[in-house]
Structure 1
């Protein structure tokens, strides 16, 4: 009888844990999708000119639809973004050197033939959410420049407890109807995967994911997908998912962990740390 009671309690505990978990969704796929491709990080700060020269805006088109994502310059000819951004796209317009989104220093149009989406990307589990875009060579300047990839030795670091910077043009709030065209950023604390798994579970938060805490409703949101998470001048994450309950939920935000894909990036693009 005692064994039966213990077993029931264990099952109840596991069930409660499963029920308490939230569903993770890509910002691009979150509810309340606006027809506008503009917006900003929820409750973030306004970026100054040339503050994030590695940030690009990506205007995708495909199957009669369009959507906005972010990306990071990792070399003169390569952009790193999320697989859920390139998914279903036939082409993209890249906005370089923008603080005001519509005032790019340079624009490039690239067809999907130049997209390198991770072959094992899964929209169901959100795993391997990473893509490369090959571009024509760009000349670096104070407003257009690359961000360094982390060293392979950093693969052993969880970055937990450190403050990283996320940037983008994502939505201002879950219910935003008005938008801003200015690049935004927020400083967010990296948390352990174990803590993040308490919200989203271990099937979503794998070793290839890095999470940040969201407090005071500061988070990534629709439009920030594929954008950079930077720490000490290195690209450590690619904006991947938020809670299905909304960006202002104060639930963790998830990113593709760049250190888990250094070999993939090098193999596909030749770019390495």
Structure 2
């Protein structure tokens, strides 16, 4: 059976899909064949649980879309390249548990976007931020871990959105604990053309997973708190269909991150 995938950026306004422009906190319910934005069947994050998670409100020509990202240094955020594609600018929400009630925000133009040429991963250069309990970085895996496939490891993904199919879209940050699976298992669903060595997948069980609006957000290991994935795709059959969810594999891009940011471990 052929399974289609869908990227997870959630439009907050577009001339084709929505008649009016709305603020990020007023995300409309998407109907038809599209999936609503959410961490599905996760749990509300307490303040400071994931201080490395940022909200990203992208805009272009008055339209916009919402993604997540991870602070990896005082001047850098890591996200998905399908989030930055064609955007003119982004507003970065720092230290927000409630989606738009951030500790502070920064507006950043597209001249500060660096997208990978062949993978769904991107960097955003941000004004310098100081770290504290509500705003902090997440560490990347070390070079010693670059060949670790993390199979069977548990990790946490965080993002904003509803908690089940058909739910209203709450603004409180949601997190979900997910188990990483082998690429060979993930390829049984999506094939080797989609699940390359630079992809990492998680098992979606009991309706727990990622969905639109979570794009670009973090997948961080329970053991060691390392950023191993950037939220990328799910099956078009639905975020709660029980099919694996895919992330850009951070260990595949450590050289690229270091070359562009100077960050390495």
Name the TM-score, length of structure 2 as normaliser: 0.88
- After superposition, residues 234-245 of structure 1 pair within 5 angstroms as 234-245=226-237
Aligned length: 244
Instruction: Name the counterpart of 2:65.
Output: 67
Q: CA RMSD in A?
A: 1.6
- After superposition, residues 196-207 of structure 1 pair within 5 angstroms as 196-207=186-197
Within the candidate set 47, 50, 67, 1:49 is matched to 47
Q: How far apart are residue 145 of structure 1 and its match?
A: 0.3
* Cα separation, 2, equivalents of 1:29 and 1:207: 26
SS in structure 2 of the partner of residue 247 of structure 1: coil
1:112-153 deviations in whole A, cap 9, x for unaligned? 000001123xxxxxxx00000001000111000000000112
* Cα separation, 2, equivalents of 1:216 and 1:147: 28
Instruction: Name the counterpart of 1:248.
Output: 240
1:6-49 deviations in whole A, cap 9, x for unaligned? xxxxxxxxxxxxxx23112211279xx88774553011100000
Within the candidate set 136, 151, 176, 2:142 is matched to 151
- Structure 1 residues 261 and 83, CA gap change in structure 2 (3 angstroms): same
* Structure 1 runs, 4 residues or longer, greater than 6 Å off: 33-36
* Cα separation, 2, equivalents of 1:173 and 1:246: 11
Q: Which segments of 5 or more consecutive residues in structure 1 lack a partner in the other structure?
A: 1-19, 121-127
* Cα separation, 1, equivalents of 2:219 and 2:183: 16
- Structure 1 residues 21 and 192, CA gap change in structure 2 (3 angstroms): farther
Instruction: Name the counterpart of 1:225.
Output: 215
Contact 1:56–1:94 (Cα < 8 Å) also in 2: yes
- After superposition, residues 74-153 of structure 1 pair within 5 angstroms as 74-120=72-118, 128-153=119-144
SS in structure 1 of the partner of residue 240 of structure 2: helix
- Structure 1 residues 250 and 36, CA gap change in structure 2 (3 angstroms): farther
SS in structure 1 of the partner of residue 216 of structure 2: coil
Instruction: Name the counterpart of 1:21.
Output: 2
1:90-124 deviations in whole A, cap 9, x for unaligned? 0000000011112100100000000001123xxxx
* Cα separation, 2, equivalents of 1:180 and 1:170: 6
Instruction: Name the counterpart of 1:17.
Output: none
**1:179 pairs with 2:177:** no
* Cα separation, 2, equivalents of 1:46 and 1:171: 10
**1:163 pairs with 2:158:** no
In terms of fraction of residues, the more helix-rich structure is: 1
- The structure with the largest alpha-carbon Rg is 1
SS in structure 1 of the partner of residue 97 of structure 2: coil
